[in-house]
Chains A and B, each alone.
Chain A
Amino acid sequence: MMDKLKLGVFELTDCGGCALNILFLYEKLFDLLEFYEITEFHMATSLSEENHYDVALVTGTVSTQRDLNLLKEARNHSEYLIALGTCATHGSVQGSVELPIREKLKAVYGDDGNPMRALDSKPVVEYVAVDFALPGCPYDKNEVYQVLMDIAKGIEPVRKDYPVCLECKLNEYECVLVKKGLPCLGPITYGGCNAACIRSGLGCIGCRGPLPGEVNPASEYEILKDLGYDDEYIIRKFKTFARWEP
């Protein structure tokens, strides 16, 4: 029997969902544990015994000096580092608040300065090189399962290359953008969520960030303008999860 791979889960500043989602794998988590030994995962275990990881999952944004130190530790002690979730890959919602940190802190905590060493929230990928980036707010748990299984078998995991629209069509959902005139970012958003919002008859909010490559944000912008949404509304929608300039 081969030695199990050491897996570390490192949580920076976020809602906890990306770490929680791993526990939501239920019986599949036990399948993963055939290949991996979890040696760092502070939401789930009080054990913390290793300083070397074959695979490190890092969730959240870098929002404090503590986050930055933890990220560097994870990077320096891991072979394969995955930025997990839209906070880690794109900055997500807290990364989209655009005031300088000093002003943000003042608005929230008053004039006491910055004793806790807060930083502007930025994604993990802006600080260190990552071996794989898996977006989603939250990411699809079956996707992380597949990625970890691929790595365990020595296969380089595949990055998806299609928009949310593809999964929407495969599910045969009615197009909410064209048929209902709802603001839907499906055409330009990185697929992999199985079109969860459109399943509810609602527009895609873009939580997986922009699909790189051949998408046409300008055309999406025009469609939303034609539907009557104003510039500020559209720009904010584009920027919410990924600070994406339309």
Chain B
Amino acid sequence: MIIELREFTRVEGNGKAEIVIEDGEVKDVRLKIIEGPRFFELLTLGRHYYDVPDLEARICAICYLSHSVASVLGIERAFGVEVPEEIALIRELGLIGELLESHALHLYLLVAPDVFGYPDAIRMATKHGELVKEGLALKAFGNRIRVMVGGREIHGINVKPGGFGRYPTVEELERVEKESEALLRLARRAVRLFAQLDPYGAQAKHFVATDGYLWGEKLVSDEEGAFHYTERIEERSLVYSFAKQSLYKGEIFFVGALPRLLLKSEMLTPAAKRLFEEHREKLETGYVSYNNLAQAIELVYSLERANEIAKTLLDRGIEGENVPVEPREGEGIGYVEAPRGVLIHHYRIDANGNVAYSNIITPTALNHAMMEASLLEEARKLYGEAEERAMIGRLEETVRAFDPCISCSVHLVKL
């Protein structure tokens, strides 16, 4: 017998799951990504490098800037271009804006209704309007940073190889400095709220993240130092899903906010670090539901870090000079932490500056196997014990804990 779950709600994109029951027991769970394929690597093939980041941004609306930055990093590494600290800091600020926007959307509008027992945030707002407003305030702040750095709330075009179309102004940075401080109180409250979640889903055995907090030269894992994805991560196609599955050294692993905190807690800002220590025991159990608690702690981190970056840039002043980019034959990989985990853009570029090979691996694809393992764990726990509706509700919450971005997951290619 197969129990087919309806399409997931309150996630980005289209997906569903099937629970396979044999002899009265849960035998298997299949996570089916039914969003149509989008063929981004084919789209970018043969394109001039300069246009590629704008196209790659379209992979995902919630994390377009992570895609732009990963794309730009891959292209710059292929050409051997290095950017000065100013440009790196502004990019980081953009990624922080995205983390705030995405985490606030996820936690307040998509997860909080589960905590309070409502079908959505709009209906939750009748009784918990203040909370919804707080979430929207954080989200709007994140989006303002995205507009400042990326050029638009969705699919901005401002992040370019070698720099930006337009640089932030002093007024804009002063506003970031002020608002990031004012909003910190709300983020602390979010940590208290999401610390109350039950442990559910599978317990991760392996964690993977980039070596810097929001981007890196390479990846790191819980058992070893820096490595390139090609050395440890393998992808495989599935007959029932448009997204591929990835394994780390042949095993299931987890990317996202929880892995970031656990692998890179020493990089956290002061208040975020204190909150991490306070909840460390819980987080270290590795239950996927604590990913939401980790996201809330990252709201605090993001606001503190945005404040630091704005201050630094204001102190040193903005020069607004792009680094000249000379195309040459080369290969480069961009590693970024999208809000929902590791994102990889890998390009080979020919002597004319056109893309000759491209491979993109998104966090949702990296987490695909971990999501299935979590669904299986929950289904086994609940099948025959809980009512079917309650079981399905919990399974949906389990998938939601990953903050999966299904649109992003459907265009993986090896050419």
Please list the 4 inter-chain residue pairs (A to B) with the smallest Cβ-Cβ separation, ordered nearest first.
A63-B36, A17-B61, A13-B36, A45-B120
Assess the B37–A197 pair: CB atoms within 8 A.
no
Q: Is the C-beta of B157 less than 8 angstroms from some C-beta in chain A?
A: yes
Q: Is the C-beta of A47 less than 8 angstroms from some C-beta in chain B?
A: yes
Taking CB atoms and an 8 Å cut-off, the chain B residues in 149-198 that contact chain A are 151-158, 160, 164-166
Assess the A66–B14 pair: CB atoms within 8 A.
yes
Assess the A46–B37 pair: CB atoms within 8 A.
no
Contacts A118-B36, A202-B158 aside, 11 further interface pairs with beta carbons under 8 A come to A13-B36, A16-B405, A20-B154, A21-B61, A21-B154, A23-B109, A24-B153, A26-B140, A107-B42, A138-B61, A201-B165
Q: Is the C-beta of A205 less than 8 angstroms from some C-beta in chain B?
A: yes
A110 vs B43: C-alpha distance in the bound complex, in angstroms?
Answer: 18
Report the count of interface residues on B (CB-CB < 8 A).
69
Assess the A43–B10 pair: CB atoms within 8 A.
yes
Query: A11-B14, A196-B152 are known contacts. Are A97 and B36 too (CB-CB below 8 A)?
Result: no
Contacts of B136 in A (CB 8 A): 26
Interface string of B29-49 (1 = CB under 8 A from A): 000001111111111000110
A126 to chain B, nearest CB (A): 15
Report the count of interface residues on A (CB-CB < 8 A).
60
Assess the B10–A45 pair: CB atoms within 8 A.
yes
Assess the B154–A17 pair: CB atoms within 8 A.
yes
Contacts of B244 in A (CB 8 A): 109
Assess the A97–B120 pair: CB atoms within 8 A.
no
Assess the A96–B34 pair: CB atoms within 8 A.
no
Assess the B37–A115 pair: CB atoms within 8 A.
no
Contacts of B71 in A (CB 8 A): none
A200 vs B167: C-alpha distance in the bound complex, in angstroms?
Answer: 8
Taking CB atoms and an 8 Å cut-off, the chain A residues in 215-246 that contact chain B are 233, 236-237, 240
Taking CB atoms and an 8 Å cut-off, the chain A residues in 87-130 that contact chain B are 92-94, 96-97, 99, 104-105, 107-110, 112, 115-116, 118-119, 121
Q: Is the C-beta of B204 less than 8 angstroms from some C-beta in chain A?
A: no
Closest to B164 in A: A200
A interface SS class: mixed
Q: Is the C-beta of B308 less than 8 angstroms from some C-beta in chain A?
A: no
Q: CB within 8 Å of A: which residues of B? A: 7-14, 34-43, 47-48, 51, 54-55, 58-62, 64, 105, 109-110, 113, 119-123, 136, 140, 143, 151-158, 160, 164-166, 237, 239-242, 244, 396, 405-408, 410-413, 415
A105 vs B42: C-alpha distance in the bound complex, in angstroms?
Answer: 10
- Central interface residue in B7, B36, B48, B157, by most chain A CB within 10 Å: B36
Contacts of B241 in A (CB 8 A): 116
Assess the B242–A197 pair: CB atoms within 8 A.
no
A116 vs B165: C-alpha distance in the bound complex, in angstroms?
Answer: 41
Quick one: which of A46, A121, A202 contacts B165, CB cutoff 8 A? A202
Assess the B42–A97 pair: CB atoms within 8 A.
yes
Contacts of B240 in A (CB 8 A): 115-116
Contacts of A93 in B (CB 8 A): 38, 40, 43, 55, 58
Closest to A29 in B: B122
Quick one: which of B7, B54, B62, B413 contacts A107, CB cutoff 8 A? B413
Contacts of A18 in B (CB 8 A): 61
Q: Mind listing 18 A-B residue pairs with CB under 8 Å?
A: A13-B410, A15-B58, A15-B64, A16-B60, A42-B9, A43-B11, A44-B122, A45-B122, A46-B9, A46-B10, A64-B36, A107-B415, A108-B37, A109-B244, A118-B37, A121-B36, A137-B155, A200-B165
Query: A45-B122, A200-B166 are known contacts. Are A17 and B14 too (CB-CB below 8 A)?
Result: no
Assess the A110–B237 pair: CB atoms within 8 A.
yes
Q: CB within 8 Å of B: which residues of A? A: 11-18, 20-21, 23-24, 26, 33, 38, 42-48, 61, 63-64, 66-67, 92-94, 96-97, 99, 104-105, 107-110, 112, 115-116, 118-119, 121, 137-138, 141, 196-197, 199-202, 205, 207, 233, 236-237, 240
Query: A46-B9, A46-B119, A236-B47 are known contacts. Are A61 and B62 too (CB-CB below 8 A)?
Result: no
Assess the B12–A97 pair: CB atoms within 8 A.
no
Assess the B37–A104 pair: CB atoms within 8 A.
yes
A126 vs B42: C-alpha distance in the bound complex, in angstroms?
Answer: 23
A36 to chain B, nearest CB (A): 11
Closest to B147 in A: A196
A70 to chain B, nearest CB (A): 9
Closest to B241 in A: A116
- Central interface residue in A45, A67, A121, by most chain B CB within 10 Å: A45
Contacts of A14 in B (CB 8 A): 407
Contacts of A112 in B (CB 8 A): 237, 239
A16 vs B15: C-alpha distance in the bound complex, in angstroms?
Answer: 13
Contacts of B155 in A (CB 8 A): 15, 17, 137-138, 207
A110 to chain B, nearest CB (A): 5
Assess the B35–A13 pair: CB atoms within 8 A.
yes
A17 vs B153: C-alpha distance in the bound complex, in angstroms?
Answer: 10
Query: A26-B140, A44-B121, A46-B119 are known contacts. Are A104 and B9 too (CB-CB below 8 A)?
Result: no
